[in-house]
Structure 1
Amino acid sequence: MADRPVPVKDMRLLDVKVEQLPAWLATRDYTPAGIVTGVRGGYDRFVKKYIDVRKPGIGGLAMMLTAYVVLSYVWTFDHIKHDRWRKYH
């Protein structure tokens, strides 16, 4: 069973074909309130995608702990390098 066709006014811009573009542009709301609503919707999508990400789990904690161990080793490497025993002085 095929999906029902979506009306042009309900499509996203990326889903609109070139031949449907004039009809899609005609259905947009160009009043100041419509523009503010469009900008607010874009801002909300941006925040949802990049700012309000999922809460970190064990993977994020393990990654942070691994980064700490590697960074602390890099910072103390010169000290460790001078403390090793040398065969020839």
Structure 2
Amino acid sequence: MADRPVPVKDLKLLDIKLGQLPGWLASRNYSPMGFVNGYRRGYNRFYSKYIDVKKGGIGGIAMLLTGYVLISYIWNYDHIKHERWRRYH
């Protein structure tokens, strides 16, 4: 018995084909609550895959710390760039 077709709006981004992309983007919820729900789903997926496991390693926490370091560097880049060109004498 063949699998039933899944609606495009229920597919993940990696599961859609290029021709289905406009329909998938049109079915997304772009309200502030939609963004909050999308962030929450992503966080829950990350947490259940890397943090909440029986035999966990350092991979999930290392990814979080690396992301934090990269974001803080991007936020402070202007200050770091100007600090680099100052002369101390």
**TM-score band, normalised by shorter chain:** 0.5 to 0.7
Secondary structure of residue in 2 paired with 1:29: coil
Deviations along 1:14-58, one digit per CA (max 9) or x if unpaired, are 1100000000000000000000000011001111111111168xx
Please list every run of at least 4 consecutive aligned residues from structure 1 whose deviation after the TM superposition is greater than 3 angstroms: none
**Residue aligned with 1:49, SS:** helix
Map of 1:28 onto structure 2: 28
**5+ residue gaps, structure 2:** 57-89
Report whether the alignment pairs 1:48 with 2:79: no
Report the TM-score when normalising by structure 2: 0.59
Which TM-score applies when normalising by structure 1?
0.59
Could you say which residue in structure 2 is the equivalent of 1:4?
4
User: Where in structure 1 are there 5+ consecutive unaligned residues?
Assistant: 57-89
